Structure 1
Amino acid sequence: MRILIIALGTRGDVQPMLALGLALQQRGHPVTLLVSSNFQAWVESFGLQVAIARVDIQQLMLSDQGNDWVKHGANPAKQMQAMRRLLEHHALTMIEDAWQAAQHCDVLISSFTSDTFAVTLAEVLGLVHISAPLQPAMLATRSGPSSVAPLLENRDTWLNYWFGRLVIEPFPWLIGGKFLNQFRQQQLKLPAQTRAEYLQRLRQTTIIQGFSPALIPHPHDWPANIQTVGFWRLPPDETWQMPAELEQFLAAGPTPIYIGFGSMTGANPDAFSELLLKAVAHSGQRAIIQTGWAGLGQIELPKTVLRIGAAPHEMLFRHVKAAVHHGGAGTTGASLAAGLPTVIVPHLGDQLRWGQRVAALGLGPKAIPRNKLTVERLAWAIAQAANTPSMQHKAQAMVNILQAEQGISRAVEIIEQRMQT
């Protein structure tokens, strides 16, 4: 059966879906990924087919609207407003591209960025639909540790459940439901869908959560059609050649820490870079700063700090002692799989949740939201991650747990079972 994976988002959204698609194709299933054009060559290098989405996620994140989203991401109300402003310009294009790509498939795999409209596409086209979120599904649970946004973090209580029903579950629909119904009515000539109808269909969908239940445990009160299987990671790129400058830097002193914020942008990257450099100096560590989409580190650097461009985390993380990053699901999985104590500086969305769980499990210090980041707070967190033996031991113990989960193999098994029903 032909499989379409909707992988609309940043590299952190695309890479796990690429890993899943590669595993499915190796099982003999033709796979197409719907991605932004800036990911086309990379995805095709793995032998997968690509459907091009017209919305360039990188340019979107670098726009004033994207910077505004990042700036206000720690505030749920402002985050919702910023996301709706982004979708006002791009949502219908995204849905139309998915609709066109879905004409040529039998199985549709969506995630948080596409579930709202994928439910309709699968229903109208008669496709097998599987939701594969990379963060906890936006569904209610009594379990605090399991919820994407619990009211009471460490409690199993109906207060968490009803907060989920009243606040968490409506969130995606409040952001994207309007645009879905425009598409349904204008292009499909179908009646508008209600939030209740959408949620009922989503709850009946096979949902495979692509992260570790050791980090965010699987809810005990969810039905069997929802499962949590482990992170989806690409095999390490053993052909990667370390740049000579990086090799020389590593040999010139103690093991450094890693700092990188991936696709997270900002209106003033130089000022942010200055803050990072001061925190590194105060912590007494050496550091590798990855430029990312924001263009960090484009200022004069001390000899104790090296700026690098793109590099595979699976290889780079073998050469550092701790990681500082934004807490995207993919980067969090990569740093923990490498056994690194992790400092999370969440900017928006589920990054806040990953930061909470990393701290709760003793895998890193308390997260510092981007809007509360200071030199002193970051320097203290870096020192904790780099120098706390208990944190280092727990991070190393997590490596074996994550390796044993075999998240991709389990996901492929569930998908193939669903394709046969």
Structure 2
Amino acid sequence: MRVLFSTYGSRGSFEPILGLAVRSRELGAEVRVCAPPDEEFAQRLAEVGVAHVPTGAPVRPLVTTVTPGSAAGLAQRAAALMTAQFETVAAAAEGCDALVVTGPLPVAACARSVAEKLGVRYVHASHQPVSLPSPHRRPPVRRGQPVPEGPVDNQALWDEDARIAHTMFGEEINRQRASFGLPPVDNVRDYAFSGRPWLATDPVLSPWQPTDLGVVQTGAWLPADERPLPAELTEFLDAGTPPVYVGFGSMPMGAPKEVARAAVEAVRAQGRRAVVSRGWAELALIDDQDDCLLVGEVNQQALFPRTAAVVHHGSAGTTTTAARAGVPQVVVPQGADQPYWAGRVADLGLGAEHDGPVPTAESLSAALGAALAPETRARASAVAGTIRTDGTTVAARLLLDAAG
């Protein structure tokens, strides 16, 4: 069986696809991954021996230069992403049995168009539930679109969301479909999601309430990570008490110097050492004291169990990795699905949800104090044993079983 996996986005979108691709190969599939051409994605795929098909423009410069929430230039970026799907992904999908897709709506809609044209099985997967239509919650805000005021029925909001999505992307996708010999679609969002999308989240951390949409929840897709920790980091860990990890992943973070200072001062206020991840925000240490260490990309699965707490932005992957490690969390959500994960951490008693995206030393110290409480550590440890570890296996078997 030949499977093409396609994604476009930051590490939070890429890592789940990487995990499923590797597990599918282990179960007998021939796999390739279409992903942005950024060097770090190419390197990760090379490390596990999975073929990389670069698609679209590098994503890191895009993420770190676009104003959060701004719709400026969105139409042009979306059109370029759609073109890449119809060109690069269509060529890579030739001869495949299945196409598994994550990423922004215009990417997914065009990928399904490719699958339709080639007669290839299509699977849309989401690593968060926020964007999947459900009467149990409001839809997320789309860039540049106003939020309706006052109480509005959730279903009515989702209907409006479908209309807005089609207004934003429908004309361009139908233009591209016409050039591909395909008829127009009248609902881009629902076409992209299909009637049976997969939800790659843990059912304890993110329980899905059944709806008319035939969602298949597989568990989270976390790639097995066997990379050793850097020697300098291991020495730091061995030299003292468990530190607090601070990292915001692919988030650009406004005023990174102030964020780094607030984080380090908050950790010190709690009498702890700190491991600070540079991330896409390019965080740096505020002084040369030996109670802090700056790191680049590291194996979080190996690091988190050796920490006292994890301070992060609230991506699905980092939240799940920290939960599996049984370590308390402080989530400083920046946008998208991150407020959802922050709320889940707080609701489950796994840590604290920071109030707002801009931490100060005082606000972060207060949140960290709550997370470091013995009862929070005990709760995080208890929940860790309930987090599923077979998400990629479940999804890979679904793929292979469908192929007979």
Report the TM-score, using the length of structure 1 for normalisation.
0.84
CA displacement, residues 1-36 of structure 1 (integer Å, 9 cap, x when unaligned): 211100222122111111101111111111110012
Contact 2:13 2:103 in 1 (8 A): no
CA displacement, residues 101-153 of structure 1 (integer Å, 9 cap, x when unaligned): 22342211012423222221111111100112111163332334xx7659xxx
Query: Is it true that 1:109 corresponds to 2:87 in the alignment?
Result: no
1:240 match = 228
Work out the CA distance in 2 between the residues paired with 1:384 and 1:374. 16
Query: Is it true that 1:381 corresponds to 2:356 in the alignment?
Result: no
Work out the CA distance in 2 between the residues paired with 1:108 and 1:355. 31
Where 1:401 maps in the other structure, the secondary structure is: coil
Q: Letter of the aligned partner of 2:401 in structure 1?
A: Q
* Cα distance change of structure 1 residues 402 and 181 upon mapping to structure 2, 3 Å threshold: same
Work out the CA distance in 2 between the residues paired with 1:374 and 1:173. 40
2:380 match = 395
1:214 match = 204
Contact 1:344 1:368 in 2 (8 A): no
Work out the CA distance in 2 between the residues paired with 1:417 and 1:161. 34
* Cα distance change of structure 1 residues 324 and 137 upon mapping to structure 2, 3 Å threshold: closer
Work out the CA distance in 1 between the residues paired with 2:390 and 2:321. 14
2:392 match = 408
2:124 match = 131
Structure-to-structure mapping, 1:178-193, within 5 angstroms: 178-185=171-178, 187-193=179-185
Indicate which of 141, 157, 161 corresponds to 1:163. Answer: 157
Where 2:132 maps in the other structure, the secondary structure is: coil
Q: Letter of the aligned partner of 1:55 in structure 2?
A: A
Work out the CA distance in 1 between the residues paired with 2:382 and 2:158. 32
Where 1:281 maps in the other structure, the secondary structure is: helix
Q: Letter of the aligned partner of 1:14 in structure 2?
A: F
Structure-to-structure mapping, 1:14-413, within 5 angstroms: 14-37=14-37, 38=39, 39-62=41-64, 64-65=65-66, 68-69=67-68, 72=69, 78=70, 83-84=74-75, 86-87=77-78, 90-113=81-104, 114-136=107-129, 138-144=131-137, 159-167=153-161, 169-170=162-163, 173=166, 175-185=168-178, 187-195=179-187, 199=190, 202-204=193-195, 206-223=196-213, 225-237=214-226, 240-243=228-231, 245-266=232-253, 268-297=255-284, 299-370=286-357, 372-386=358-372, 388-403=373-388, 406-413=390-397
CA displacement, residues 357-388 of structure 1 (integer Å, 9 cap, x when unaligned): 11111111123332x432221111111112x2
Q: Letter of the aligned partner of 2:175 in structure 1?
A: Q
Work out the CA distance in 2 between the residues paired with 1:342 and 1:381. 9
2:8 match = 8
Deviation at 1:273, TM superposition (A): 1.7
Q: Letter of the aligned partner of 1:27 in structure 2?
A: L
* Cα distance change of structure 1 residues 355 and 148 upon mapping to structure 2, 3 Å threshold: farther
Q: Give the total of aligned pairs.
A: 391
* Cα distance change of structure 1 residues 267 and 367 upon mapping to structure 2, 3 Å threshold: closer
* Cα distance change of structure 1 residues 19 and 267 upon mapping to structure 2, 3 Å threshold: same
Structure 1 runs of 4+ aligned residues shifted over 6 Å read: none
Cα RMSD between the aligned structures?
2.7
Contact 1:359 1:367 in 2 (8 A): no
Q: Letter of the aligned partner of 1:362 in structure 2?
A: G
Work out the CA distance in 2 between the residues paired with 1:172 and 1:393. 43
Contact 1:260 1:291 in 2 (8 A): yes
Contact 1:318 1:338 in 2 (8 A): yes
List gaps (5 residues or longer) in structure 1. Answer: 73-77, 151-156
User: Which structure shows the bigger proportion of residues in helix conformation?
Assistant: 1
Work out the CA distance in 2 between the residues paired with 1:173 and 1:26. 39
Identity %: 26
Contact 2:56 2:81 in 1 (8 A): no
Work out the CA distance in 1 between the residues paired with 2:356 and 2:73. 18
Where 2:197 maps in the other structure, the secondary structure is: strand
* Cα distance change of structure 1 residues 83 and 47 upon mapping to structure 2, 3 Å threshold: same
1:75 match = none
CA displacement, residues 73-104 of structure 1 (integer Å, 9 cap, x when unaligned): xxxxx4x5575564355543355322232234
Contact 1:327 1:352 in 2 (8 A): yes
Where 2:198 maps in the other structure, the secondary structure is: strand
Where 2:245 maps in the other structure, the secondary structure is: strand
Where 1:138 maps in the other structure, the secondary structure is: coil
List gaps (5 residues or longer) in structure 2. Answer: 142-150
CA displacement, residues 236-279 of structure 1 (integer Å, 9 cap, x when unaligned): 31x51442x32332233321110011111145422322222232
Work out the CA distance in 2 between the residues paired with 1:85 and 1:274. 37
Where 2:385 maps in the other structure, the secondary structure is: helix
Report the TM-score, using the length of structure 2 for normalisation.
0.87
Contact 1:116 1:176 in 2 (8 A): no
Q: Letter of the aligned partner of 1:97 in structure 2?
A: T
Work out the CA distance in 1 between the residues paired with 2:355 and 2:76. 26
Q: Letter of the aligned partner of 2:381 in structure 1?
A: Q
Contact 1:112 1:137 in 2 (8 A): no
